[in-house]
Amino acid sequence: MRMRGLTILVAAGDAERFHAALSFAAAGAATGMAVRLHLHEGAVALLGPPIAAPADPARSAAGLPTLAQLLDDALDLGVAITVCQSGLALAGLALGGLDRRIEAQGPIGLLAALDDDRLLTF
């Protein structure tokens, strides 16, 4: 029996919510789920340097992954991360300047691929 996938939408530029979304994405991928995470408009700016969240110093002190580490871990686990083309323009970022494993995708493509995935929004 095929395990349902997980699609996660990060709808705003909140680094702590992005960290939570990446945590769920990595956990899903670690259990064998197909996981996609999409950053919409303002959330795309979170991928600009430096990739960091306000609680990262506390996380580091506690031995927990920072936002940048968790992003890399999620990608390493096979989480498919996509970004909104409008968000790239709004953030002044180029797709080629991001991790090569990140792809551009719009809302129509995301919804068309949703199938029977669970959908979480952060």
Q: pLDDT tens, position by position, for the chain (122 residues)? A: 678 999 999 999 999 999 999 999 999 999 999 999 999 999 999 999 999 999 999 999 999 999 999 999 999 999 999 999 999 999 999 999 999 999 999 999 999 999 899 999 99
Positive or negative, the Cα torsion across 69, 21, 82, 27?
positive
pTM of the model: 0.95
Q: Give the C-alpha separation, 65 to 57, whole Å.
A: 10
- Domains recognised in the chain with CATH numbers: 6-121 (3.40.1260.10)
Phi then psi for residue 83, to 5 deg, are -130, 150
Is the Cβ–Cβ distance between 120 and 21 less than 8 Å? yes
Q: What is the 3-state secondary structure (H, E, C) of 33-62?
A: CCEEEEECHHHHHHHCCCCCCCCHHHHHHC
Contact predicate 36/7, CB 8 Å: yes
Strands, E assignment, 1-122? 6-10, 35-39, 80-83, 103-104, 118-121
Q: How far is CA 44 from CA 27, 33, 47, 108, 116, in A?
A: 22, 24, 6, 17, 25
